[in-house]
Amino acid sequence: MTTLQIRSKGTITLPASFRKKYKLEEGESFKIIDVGDGSFFLVPRESKVMKTADKVAKKVKEANVTLDDLLKTLDEERKRYYKEHYVEN
């Protein structure tokens, strides 16, 4: 585990091994994702997962699909999947 220190102007320095491993260069931007309880992720560049999640969220909003709709459909699909894969006929 690596420890980072916040400097006087709020800057942090990533260890050279991380910069080399992930091909990070000076001036690159990061997204910070707050996961609660004082924990967060620093995400370099735009990850494919985040990009895909943003696209899905946009489509869901455009279609006026509610969270309740999503949860209901998820529950239905989970039950269907379970029946198809785990219940013997």
pLDDT digits (tens, 9 = 90+) for 5-61: 999 999 999 999 989 998 888 888 888 889 998 999 988 877 677 788 889 999 999
Mean pLDDT calculated for residue range 63-85? 93
Q: What is the pLDDT of residue 24?
A: 86
Are the C-beta atoms of 33 and 16 separated by less than 8 Å?
no
Dist. CA 10–CA 75, nearest whole Å: 44
Q: Exposure of 60 by Cβ count < 10 A (0-12 exposed, 13-18 middle, 19+ buried)?
A: middle
Assigned token pair, 55: 């696209």
Q: Exposure of 19 by Cβ count < 10 A (0-12 exposed, 13-18 middle, 19+ buried)?
A: middle
Are the C-beta atoms of 71 and 79 separated by less than 8 Å?
no
Model confidence band, residue 74 (pLDDT cutoffs 50, 70, 90)? very high
Mean pLDDT calculated for residue range 60-66? 94
Q: What is the pLDDT of residue 23?
A: 85
Share of the chain above pLDDT 90, in %: 52
Give the rounded distance of the alpha carbon of 64 from its chain centre. Answer: 23
Could you please state the CATH topology (level 3) that the domain comprising 1-45 is classified under.
Answer: Pemi-like Protein 1; Chain: D (2.10.260)
Q: What are the residue boundaries of the structural domains of the chain, listed by start?
A: 1-45, 49-86
